Amino acid sequence: MYNYIILRLGLFLILNRNILSDAACTLPEDLRSSSWEYNYTDVSDNSEKSKTLVISTTTLQNSVISLDGRGTTLDDWTCINNLTISSTEGVVVFKSDSTFSDGPSTNYRLYLCMKFTKVTPDLYYFYLLSDISTDVTPNERVFVSKAGNLPANDAPMC
């Protein structure tokens, strides 16, 4: 049986700089090693979509969260940090496993800052907390960082 995730895009808040204090990542236990029905509204045409999101222990591999960075598909994500806000809320930071380039010397990496809110035992909402980036298609709420100027795994990018 699938659990349910509904994506709601929205800029919520900028978190305090000192909250991400270590580089460990722990997803909520009921999200780990599971498949969730991922329901969302496609912002390009306002249509309702539903896909299956497979979450490993700390990765989203070959994910339905797939972005195009100037011809490079970015769909593999590794959790690099988290913050538990309460028993029903937390923030998780995923880093793209690949980079994309705008030329021979500049590579970029993407970060997803997700706020998870547990509504019921089988329903989560998650929100992407970054500003919309036009460096990827479709435009999405991701943090973009240049290679060589990468934030540390415990950087306060959300």
Reported as a pLDDT band with limits 50, 70 and 90, residue 19 is: very low
C-alpha count within 13 angstroms, C-beta hemisphere, residue 40:
20
- pTM for the model stands at 0.74
Q: Which residues contact 14 (CB under 8 A, 6 or more apart)?
A: 129, 158
Which pLDDT belongs to residue 55? 86
Mean pLDDT of the residues in the chain: 77
Model pLDDT for residues 111-152, shown as the tens digit of each residue: 999 999 999 988 999 888 888 888 888 888 888 887 656 666
